[in-house]
């Protein structure tokens, strides 16, 4: 019996073909093969918002190839991604090939491995039309918003501008943050900081108290005030007034979902949201990680068992403290999938082929180490605060010692500051003390990471839309990145945002998308 299996991506098709025998033809649709027409609305607002779908010119050859292949086989399997987008792509393929949605074989998997593919083929399902309808509704609504608002902007501002349900709200966030920055009043303040030493080990401490009064952030307002303090502690001997030690634990991180992957990759690797998702797609399609568009924090029982075996064998019993299960608290989470994880716990970054792209390897390293860390015990630390005094002026030094590294064995965090061993009454040598000028800072511009975080908090968009949204507002020249890769609005964004807020406040409201999802 000959079978045809259709996926969206050619790389995915190539990987799957390796696992299946000669009885299977594996082809790719190259994403969506039908959509609303480009040059007209394509939605009949007089007839229950009925959509009209067309095959784009660049997909006609692909459609013909799929039709030809379908005639040569006994069964067709639709194996697109298991989310609303993937379900809609499968439905469009079924429609074009003349397949009955009620009987068409639909399979899904969260990782591209031989085990996952074979298991999916053992028990195929059918198309989930409620997911297809949800995607159609989203697409139709986005078309209505875009095609009604964009011409309005052409009349009011200039031809060629665009608006959208998600992009315009993301732009609004960036515009309003910039205005907060412009309205910010800067205040000068000073700190007094010193470098000290005990038994040849240097450490830093900061002035926290003067003559029994605790200092607040803006208490020292000028150089003159700082100089008075410096004169009072100049050439005086400091004594340890108090040593406070406290045991602390640092919990392992949670597994990665789409938003946290983009945030971590931005913060740790400097990757944009788009860059992160492009590299993650490569890892997924080559069978190295699970599906990368997800709200879920869960990990499969199979993986959890494999992870414990790997941790025990590699790091020892004290690092294998048993399976840790994570649950998603977010309402409306897209939990058709697991969290983003390696398909094989034992495939360390060092085991990847030497020829692999550097960016792909960096992202895999982040995903692998974070996931393994979730299954390791907390780190144990001893936090220390040392107060030293002279002339009724108290400086404080903070530091910590890692007692047991736990999950930090594989997932490093900020470097800990170490302090010398000291006791109350010990004399401390002064190396230098100086006043440092500061200015209060306006709210920071959004980075890709912080914008994704606030989009998620407001439930604006979904895991699959964070990166394309940021990319859209940059490509349409509403937003740009500064020298620090932070997002700021261009002049046209200020004008467009004000018009949209004035005339379409309900559409660009921060809670509109969240209410829509509910």
State the catalytic residues.
291
Pair type for strands 50-51 and 75-78: unpaired
Q: What is the C-alpha separation between 449 and 310, in angstroms, rounded?
A: 31
Whether 6 and 12 have beta carbons less than 8 Å apart is answered as: no
Which H, E and C letters describe 11-66, residue by residue?
HHHHHHHHHCCCCEEEEECCCCCCECCCCCCCEECCCCCEECCECCHHHHHHHHHH
Which 3 state secondary structure label does DSSP give 188? strand
Q: Locate tokens 């020292």: which residue?
A: 220
How is 325-390 classified by DSSP, letter by letter?
-----STT---SS--B-BS-TT--GGGS-TTS-HHHHHHHHHHHHHHHHHTSPPEEEEEEEEEEEE
Structure tokens at 458: 């407001």
Q: What is the C-alpha separation between 79 and 87, in angstroms, rounded?
A: 9
Nearest to 101 by CA among 122, 123, 76, 84: 76
Residue 383: C-alpha distances to residues 391, 418, 426 (Å):
27, 10, 19
Phi-psi region of 61 (alpha: psi -120 to 50; beta: other; left: phi over 0): alpha
Q: What is the C-alpha separation between 399 and 417, in angstroms, rounded?
A: 5
Structure tokens at 516: 């829509």
Whether 131 and 334 have beta carbons less than 8 Å apart is answered as: no
Torsion of CA 400, 401, 406, 411, to 10 degrees: 60
Q: What is the C-alpha separation between 257 and 183, in angstroms, rounded?
A: 35
Q: What is the C-alpha separation between 76 and 5, in angstroms, rounded?
A: 6
Which run of H or E residues covers position 245?
A: strand 238-250
Which 3 state secondary structure label does DSSP give 432? strand
Nearest to 169 by CA among 505, 518, 471, 515: 505
């Amino acid at each position: 019996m000959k079978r045809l299996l259709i996926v969206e991506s050619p790389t995915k098709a190539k990987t799957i073909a390796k696992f299946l025998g000669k009885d299977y033809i594996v082809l790719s649709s190259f994403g969506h093969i039908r959509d609303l027409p480009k040059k007209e609305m394509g939605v009949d607002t007089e007839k229950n918002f009925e959509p009209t779908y067309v095959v784009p010119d660049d997909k006609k050859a692909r459609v013909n190839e799929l039709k030809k292949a379908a005639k040569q086989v006994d069964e067709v399997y639709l194996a697109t991604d298991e989310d609303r987008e993937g379900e809609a792509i499968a439905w469009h393929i079924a429609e074009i090939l003349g397949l009955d949605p009620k009987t068409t074989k639909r399979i899904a998997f969260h990782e591209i491995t031989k085990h996952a593919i074979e298991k999916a083929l053992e028990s195929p399902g059918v198309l989930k039309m409620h997911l297809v309808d949800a995607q159609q509704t989203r697409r139709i609504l986005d078309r209505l918003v875009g095609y009604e608002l964009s011409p309005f902007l052409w009349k009011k501002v200039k031809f060629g501008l665009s608006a959208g349900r998600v992009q315009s709200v993301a732009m609004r966030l960036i515009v309003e943050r910039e205005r907060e920055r412009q309205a910010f009043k800067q205040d000068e303040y000073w700190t007094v900081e010193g470098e000290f030493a005990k038994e040849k080990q240097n450490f830093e401490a900061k002035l926290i108290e003067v003559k029994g009064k605790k200092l607040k952030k803006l208490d020292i307002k000028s150089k003159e005030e700082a100089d008075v303090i410096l004169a009072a502690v100049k050439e005086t001997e400091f004594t340890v007034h108090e040593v406070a030690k406290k045991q602390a634990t640092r919990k392992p991180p949670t597994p990665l979902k789409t938003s946290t992957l983009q945030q971590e990759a931005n913060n740790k690797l400097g990757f944009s949201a788009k860059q992160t998702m492009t590299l993650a797609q490569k890892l997924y399609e080559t069978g190295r990680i699970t599906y990368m568009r997800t709200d879920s924090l869960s990990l499969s029982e199979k993986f959890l068992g494999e992870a414990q075996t790997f941790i025990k064998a590699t790091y020892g019993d004290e690092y294998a403290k048993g399976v840790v299960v994570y649950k998603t608290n977010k309402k409306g989470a897209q939990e058709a999938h697991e969290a983003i994880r390696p398909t094989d716990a034992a495939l360390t970054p060092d085991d990847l082929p030497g020829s692999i792209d550097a960016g792909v390897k960096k992202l895999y390293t982040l995903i692998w180490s974070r996931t393994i860390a979730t299954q390791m015990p907390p780190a144990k630390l001893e936090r220390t605060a040392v107060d030293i005094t002279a002339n009724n002026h108290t400086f404080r030094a903070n530091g910590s010692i890692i007692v047991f590294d736990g999950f930090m064995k594989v997932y490093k965090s900020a470097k800990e500051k170490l302090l010398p061993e000291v006791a109350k009454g010990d004399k401390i040598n002064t190396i230098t003390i100086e006043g440092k000028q500061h200015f209060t800072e306006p709210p920071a511009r959004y980075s890709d990471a912080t914008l994704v975080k606030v989009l998620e908090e407001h439930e604006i968009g979904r895991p699959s839309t964070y990166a394309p949204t940021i990319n859209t507002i940059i490509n349409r020249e509403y937003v740009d990145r500064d020298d620090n890769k932070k997002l700021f609005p261009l002049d046209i964004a200020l004008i467009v945002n004000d018009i949209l807020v004035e005339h379409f406040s309900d559409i660009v409201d921060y809670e509109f998308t969240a209410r829509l999802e509910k």
